[in-house]
Chain A
């Protein structure tokens, strides 16, 4: 039982390049989330998927797209990376109730030059 896995762990991009961050969970959770973490700003929700087949914007969706590939996988795509997207990205999953715990992946540290 690996929990939530993310790839890659580290990535350096040049401005304008694209990339996809991958996330998978093996807990049969319904809901999945993408956050970014920046110093002093806590966690900000980028996109989420409350259930398979649905995706919705969070607090900071501009410059990102997501795909809920199946119940296990939820990917985040940067179409044209900008230095402002330098951050640590976390994927999380939750069974699907307000009292549930979110389970987080180890994060991807992205630098955009």
Chain B
């Protein structure tokens, strides 16, 4: 069965600093991986996804993630944090067992300090 683990329920960075949100996956088949963002009082929206093409995936708002099979990781990064990046971020993997389901991690809340 597939799963994702997000390391750190809360991450705090200063404005302009590097953002690094960690995600590790477990999958017996090649995974399809996603990062979603949730701004306060809103639903989730897609940041980026890995679907077995390029291992470095670029998303919206300057975010990118690198798929590393050897480390079973799909960490999310952004070179320079902006106040508007403050949100909750979810790593997710497609469930290949059927039903077109997506398995979400517990989420990491990003705080950005001025």
Which A residues have a C-beta under 8 Å from some C-beta of B?
Answer: 4, 30-31, 33, 40-43, 45, 48, 50, 56, 58, 90, 92, 94, 96-102, 104-107
Contact with A along B10-53 (1 / 0, CB 8 A): 00000000000000000000001010100001111110010100
Q: Roughly how many angstroms separate A30 CA and B99 CA in the complex, as a whole number?
A: 11
Does B9 make an interface contact (CB < 8 A)?
A: yes
Does B90 make an interface contact (CB < 8 A)?
A: yes
Q: Is the interface of B mostly helix, strand, loop or mixed?
A: loop
B42 and A106: CB pair below 8 A?
A: yes
B34 and A107: CB pair below 8 A?
A: no
A58 nearest in chain B by CB position: B101
B96 and A98: CB pair below 8 A?
A: yes
Instruction: Give how many B residues have a beta carbon under 8 Å from the other chain's beta carbons.
Output: 24
Q: Contacts A99-B51, A101-B34, A101-B49 hold; do A94 and B43 have CB atoms under 8 A apart? A: no
Q: Roughly how many angstroms separate A31 CA and B94 CA in the complex, as a whole number?
A: 13
Residues in A whose Cβ lies below 8 Å from that of B107: 42
B9 and A40: CB pair below 8 A?
A: yes
Tell me which of B34, B94, B99 contacts A48 (CB under 8 A).
B99
Q: Roughly how many angstroms separate A88 CA and B31 CA in the complex, as a whole number?
A: 28
User: Could you jot down 10 A-B contacts, CB within 8 Å?
Assistant: A4-B43, A31-B100, A40-B106, A42-B90, A42-B107, A90-B44, A99-B49, A101-B49, A104-B45, A106-B42
Q: Roughly how many angstroms separate A29 CA and B9 CA in the complex, as a whole number?
A: 32
B4 nearest in chain A by CB position: A42
B43 and A106: CB pair below 8 A?
A: yes
A30 nearest in chain B by CB position: B100
Q: Roughly how many angstroms separate A4 CA and B104 CA in the complex, as a whole number?
A: 19
B50 nearest in chain A by CB position: A99
Q: Roughly how many angstroms separate A38 CA and B97 CA in the complex, as a whole number?
A: 25
